[in-house]
């Protein structure tokens, strides 16, 4: 089955077009949902007829002011309404909140969102344990806040644009902000020195990226010099990646702070 859903937001100035009763109030808007189900193999034919015959009527009602908004949704996959991916509460048998949230959780509202990544903490712990045992260092470069903070950062990118994270499983790139404070806590608990996180722009500036870019632009053709200038801005500017991206270091306790982590 291939359902196509039409959602229209109406005002009480218009008689309701569905079976449900309108809410109380002289001008309160309310939502009317229409669900259409086409036979298997006839979804495209149904869609062409819908666009030709029914949709113009709905758009005319919208232009007249009887409908405030009109949204059409077509599922990418053949699934019933109860078979789609949705966000839901689960019964967590053990707490997943990282230790850095011990004090911060008091500031989260009752219906607030706290993101945790047990997998990220597990990988950071393995890296830190290896460094503490065998020596060395690691740099973790990603984007996220300097301190743990509540909020929903999960997003999907598909075809160079934002997408529904649950809308097309396997067809979109999923991403979320990194909790650097949680990773630093895991590293310190494993026995390494955790330095940072330092904003990427400041980190690269301390490594001499500005001088290097100037040297490249002095001898480069105009088009290459322009590309270098644009890349420098993208990597270091606060309006681009300069502050959102950050660098965290794990060091063996015997090692000094590496370049980029000291003024």
Which CATH entry fits the domain spanning 99-251: 3.40.50.620, 3.40.950.10, 3.40.50.12710, 3.40.50.2020? Answer: 3.40.50.12710
- Mean pLDDT computed over every residue of the chain: 80
Residue 14 has pLDDT above 70, yes or no: no
pLDDT digits (tens, 9 = 90+) for 93-126: 555 555 555 555 556 777 778 888 888 889 999 9
pLDDT of residue 90: 61
- Confidence band, pLDDT 50/70/90 cuts, at residue 158: confident
- The pLDDT tens digits of the residues spanning 43-72 come to 778 888 888 888 888 888 878 877 777 777
Least confident stretch, 16-25, 40-49, 135-144, 217-226: 16-25
What are the residue ranges spanned by the domains of the chain? Answer: 2-83, 99-251
Q: Would you call 215 helix, strand, or coil by DSSP?
A: helix
Name the pTM for this structure. 0.65
């Amino acid at each position: 089955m291939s359902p196509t859903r039409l959602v229209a937001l109406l005002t009480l100035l218009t008689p309701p077009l569905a079976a449900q009763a309108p809410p109380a109030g002289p001008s309160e808007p309310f939502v009317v949902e229409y669900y259409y189900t086409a036979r298997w193999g006839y979804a495209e034919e149904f869609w062409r007829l819908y666009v030709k015959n029914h949709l113009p009527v709905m758009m005319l009602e919208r232009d007249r002011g009887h409908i405030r908004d009109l949204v059409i949704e077509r599922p990418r996959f053949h699934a019933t309404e109860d078979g789609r991916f949705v966000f839901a509460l689960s019964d967590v048998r053990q707490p997943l909140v990282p230790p850095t949230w011990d004090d911060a959780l008091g500031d989260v509202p009752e219906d607030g969102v706290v993101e945790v990544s047990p997998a990220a903490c597990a990988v950071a712990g393995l890296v830190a344990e290896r460094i503490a045992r065998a020596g060395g260092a690691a740099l973790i470069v990603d984007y996220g806040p300097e301190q743990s903070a509540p909020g929903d950062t999960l997003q999907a990118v598909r075809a160079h644009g934002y997408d529904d994270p649950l809308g097309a499983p396997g067809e979109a790139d999923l991403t979320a902000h990194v909790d650097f404070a949680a990773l630093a806590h895991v590293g310190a608990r494993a026995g390494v020195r955790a330095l940072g996180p330092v904003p990427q722009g400041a980190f690269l500036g301390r490594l001499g990226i500005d001088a290097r870019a100037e040297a490249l632009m002095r001898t480069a053709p105009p088009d290459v010099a322009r590309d270098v200038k644009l890349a420098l801005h993208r990597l270091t500017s606060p309006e681009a990646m300069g502050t959102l991206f950050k660098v965290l270091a794990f060091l063996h306790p015997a090692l000094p702070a590496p370049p980029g982590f000291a003024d």
